[in-house]
Structure 1
Amino acid sequence: MTGTSLSRRRLLTGATAAAASLALTGCVGRSEGDYAQVSGEVPPQFARRERVVLWSAFTSANAKILQSVIDGFNGSQQDIFCEIQVFPGYSPLDSKLAASFAVSQVPDIVTLSDVNWNRYFLAETLEPLNGYFDSGFGPGAFHPRFLAEGTIRDQVYWLPWARSTPLFYYNKEIFAGAGLPDRGPRTFTELREWGRQLKGFRYRGSPVKMRGYSSTDDWYFQGATWAFSGGYSDGMTSRLDSEQTVAALEFDRAFIHDDQMGYLAGDINADFVAGVTATICNSTGALTSLLKAAKFEFGAAFLPEQDGPGVPTGGSGLAIMRNATKARKQATWEVVKYLAETGAPEWSLNTGYLPVTTSSLNSSKIKERNAKTPAYQVAQDQLSRARQPDAMRRYVNETIAEVLIALQKVYASDADPREALHEAARTLAPGIQRVLPKYRRMVTS
């Protein structure tokens, strides 16, 4: 049950440093079509086709699933070859993409996360997509809730693909053994009461905690701030050290250190599957892998509320690079159409990510899967109470790193939540001022 340590140096290097110093300067965008395509390998049978390069942050099983989808595209026509170049996660991809502008070489389509595509928008490097839609393939091909998150001033820049919300996962065997209801807690207060009831319970001969906390992702805390009527920001005005946001972190501090029923986990999935912790909050995208790994029955429920719901959307979408040539962008749009109309059901069915296209929402296979395993339907139903993360988390590149540092102090060292969040807010003030002029122009124009 040991946690992992996070350092400011580690958190503020890589993608954070690259995107902050390059992508947000506003100097990376140049006129349309003046950037070369990144190099790669084209199989001989595709040598005469228009080449499209897709940069993907998906690894392991998800990488294979996406490759299967793209293989289907390459086999469906004779004019375009789509090549996937894989990066080990969003941060390495983000760092490489920011650096690629310095040498005027870019891919054509990129899986950008929900918190970094906005920065490339501010840097004017993303292609506006409204003009590509036509009567045969329009905005209606995508879930309107998710399409809206990639739309700025009525223009679409980022299309939904691997989207998710967090779910509350609970071990049904542990809950039954401890006399807890077979459901998720309705409120954080109820979660704490259940944690106290679980105290001293042993599962398969070993003591068990109520919740394992993630040490590397603040996504769940973003949702908790809303549940306590707080948040990261109101527009670009910080709310990190507001009374309500402090209350959300104080709940976690008390749950971990006073009740001793929460802890900072190195790997929440591994601990949950091992029966070390009775519950975790993790992405809907983790559901499929958890079902394969767990040797016990578990449930999936909505996240707890408090003053109200607190459900953040997350994941990634597809963005086309503005500086590619017109021919490459048009070919890339054909890939997008195939993904939305044909590939999306296969992707959602095999990865567990939410259906985000009309084709996947209407898929009989996905409906059958949801009926057989209701947890998938829970994930779709919870979307009605979800919202995208606060603006500061999306536009100020250092925000996630600074919040993680604050969480680490509280979770691992029982630091005062007010002091930790106040320090984060103070440190982030220059970043807010750097982004603020462009942000204001964006929301007022």
Structure 2
Amino acid sequence: MSGNNSAHSLSNGLSRRSLLKLAGAGALAIPALAACSGSGGGAGGGFAAVDIKVPEKYRKRSQKVVLWSSWNGKPGNLLNNLINKFNDSQNDIYAQAQFQGNYFDATSKVTAALRAKSVPDIMAFGQTAWQIFFLNETLEDLDSYADDAFKSSFYPNLFNAGVIKNKLYWVSFARSTPIMYYNKNLFAKAGLPDRGPKTWTELREWGPALVNQKAAGKPVKATELSGGDSWEFEASVWQFGGRISNGLDVTVNKDGAVECADWMRKLIFEDKMAILARDYGTNFNNGLVGTYMNSTGALSGTYEAAKFDVGVSPLPTQVTHGVPTGGGGLSIFKGIPKERKEAAWEVIKFLSSPESAATWSLGTGYLPVVKEAVNRSEYKTALAKDPNRGVAIAQLAQAGKLDEVDAYVQNASPIIYAGLQKIYGDNQPAQRVLDSVAEQLKAGEEKIKSKYDKLVGDEG
């Protein structure tokens, strides 16, 4: 989100990184939902509505829709404004967005709500959460609601992130990709081109020119790496020709993944050109590193925090491109009555219109998930004023879903970044550490394999 410096800001400054630290400590463990699976049957009707206070002017409306989200502050206000526009656009449905805390709190609350059989009509799930609920068969198949015009209106690489076996379960809304940020002022002083590095090898070649510079009397590094999230690492692994997994086949300790981790380790400890960041983004904003990868959603916050001209480029390649998508989307629960599902879908359709998508993207920094949004006059004006906004959109042609293990195995990301801290922080051999990471991921994979095989199968 805009206004925050970390890649996946949620609310009140809580980022995906701080959330994942909770997960690594065991605080994010999501209780099994087997008791809830299929509650209410395919036709719905088993789940009651959550509490909602309806303003007097809307009390005669036949349907009420509640959307639970983890957006407050500026994004929360913007979401409320969009919901208010929906309420004023028709006379049958009253919708209300209810803030439920960060993704960790919201996930815990919706788990409890499912067990109590009293749930919101729409849930805003993060990309690494909704698949867990899908495996427990609590999410509605939305394919019959979404006509061809709706499906084709989205950028395919964003829309398809919510599709399993040609069925839609999660509608992209607040979506992002990582991009490369660079310090234009520092690059100019170092005699470098006004662009980000095209490859990781090029960044290493530029390293000496950058490390010869100083900021606030301190030596500069070429880049900083995150030891508190797996998102940027997964992107780099793809760039080196590896994967975290192929389907549920764990490959984080093979080929390009090991090469990537070891290349970055050498960049830190042998080349002395990179650092492992304790507070990811702070060094960049203070002018102490020349580049780093972060979410497109961090652009506005970086503008506010940086003390220099900020440049944005596509992610570097090495063997190939690597751009995993991130962010949040909207799901409907299987167990609610049919009329509530239909009303909830009307809200999702409204939020997925070009006007809503443009408003949300320009106001938050998330990607415009609907293609036509960028053709609106306000978006064209914003792109002309700030071309940096268009970099992540252009990257979508190379973007893809998270690797299956990262998406479906609970606490996969904390397991991966705990390994990265050993490699990037303690200079431990990449192969040995990633072998241990792979064993932990395989243990998590075994817990979900039967459900995955049943519901996903060869989709991955």
The question of 1:104 aligning with 2:113 is answered: no
Quote the residue 2:37 is aligned against. 28
Q: Give the TM-score normalised by the residue count of structure 1.
A: 0.92
2:177 and 2:324 in contact (8 A); partners too? yes
- Counterpart secondary structure, 1:127: coil
Question: Residue 176 of structure 2: which of 154, 160, 164 is its match?
Answer: 164
Quote the residue 1:147 is aligned against. 159
**CA-CA distance at 1:12 after TM superposition:** 4.8
Equivalent residues in 2 for 1:356-371 (5 A)? 356-371=369-384
Q: Distance in 2 between matches of 1:359 and 1:413?
A: 47
Quote the residue 2:3 is aligned against. none
Q: Distance in 2 between matches of 1:97 and 1:151?
A: 21
Unaligned runs of 5+ residues in structure 2 are 1-16
Deviation sequence 1:337-386 (CA, Å, 0-9, x none): 11112421100111121111144133221122112211111111111111
Question: Residue 131 of structure 1: which of 144, 147, 160 is its match?
Answer: 144
Q: Give the TM-score normalised by the residue count of structure 2.
A: 0.89
Distance 1:189 1:121, change over 3 A: same
Q: Distance in 2 between matches of 1:82 and 1:94?
A: 21
Distance 1:10 1:236, change over 3 A: closer
Q: Distance in 1 between matches of 2:36 and 2:288?
A: 49
1:56 and 1:86 in contact (8 A); partners too? yes
Which range moves more in the overlay, 41-50 or 382-391? 41-50
Q: Distance in 1 between matches of 2:360 and 2:27?
A: 29
1:7 and 1:405 in contact (8 A); partners too? no
Quote the residue 1:280 is aligned against. 292
Equivalent residues in 2 for 1:245-260 (5 A)? 245-260=257-272
Distance 1:128 1:171, change over 3 A: same
**CA-CA distance at 1:26 after TM superposition:** 7.1
Q: Distance in 2 between matches of 1:7 and 1:127?
A: 27
Q: Distance in 2 between matches of 1:216 and 1:313?
A: 18
Q: Distance in 2 between matches of 1:257 and 1:41?
A: 58
- Counterpart secondary structure, 1:394: helix
Q: Distance in 2 between matches of 1:8 and 1:331?
A: 37
Q: Distance in 1 between matches of 2:21 and 2:104?
A: 16
Quote the residue 1:179 is aligned against. 191
Deviation sequence 1:100-149 (CA, Å, 0-9, x none): 222222111111122221221111111111222358x6323322222222
Quote the residue 2:394 is aligned against. 381
- Counterpart secondary structure, 2:185: helix
1:59 and 1:87 in contact (8 A); partners too? no
Between the aligned residues of both structures, percent identity stands at 38
Quote the residue 1:118 is aligned against. 131
**CA-CA distance at 1:305 after TM superposition:** 0.8
**CA-CA distance at 1:75 after TM superposition:** 2.3
Distance 1:47 1:13, change over 3 A: farther
**CA-CA distance at 1:234 after TM superposition:** 0.9
2:184 and 2:310 in contact (8 A); partners too? yes
Cα RMSD after superposing both structures: 2.3
- Counterpart secondary structure, 1:189: helix
In the comparison of the two structures, how many residue pairs are matched?
Answer: 437
Which range moves more in the overlay, 77-86 or 394-403? 77-86
Which range moves more in the overlay, 410-419 or 171-180? 410-419
Quote the residue 1:84 is aligned against. 97
Quote the residue 1:428 is aligned against. 441
Unaligned runs of 5+ residues in structure 1 are none
**CA-CA distance at 1:204 after TM superposition:** 4.4
- Counterpart secondary structure, 2:281: helix
Distance 1:191 1:313, change over 3 A: same
Deviation sequence 1:133-168 (CA, Å, 0-9, x none): 358x63233222222221112211111111111000
Q: Distance in 2 between matches of 1:243 and 1:97?
A: 39
Question: Residue 357 of structure 2: which of 329, 332, 344 is its match?
Answer: 344
Q: Distance in 2 between matches of 1:422 and 1:360?
A: 44
Quote the residue 2:457 is aligned against. 443
The question of 1:199 aligning with 2:206 is answered: no
Equivalent residues in 2 for 1:219-258 (5 A)? 219-258=231-270
2:240 and 2:320 in contact (8 A); partners too? yes
**CA-CA distance at 1:78 after TM superposition:** 2.6
**CA-CA distance at 1:54 after TM superposition:** 0.8
The question of 1:302 aligning with 2:314 is answered: yes
Which range moves more in the overlay, 37-46 or 235-244? 37-46
Question: Residue 292 of structure 1: which of 288, 292, 304 is its match?
Answer: 304
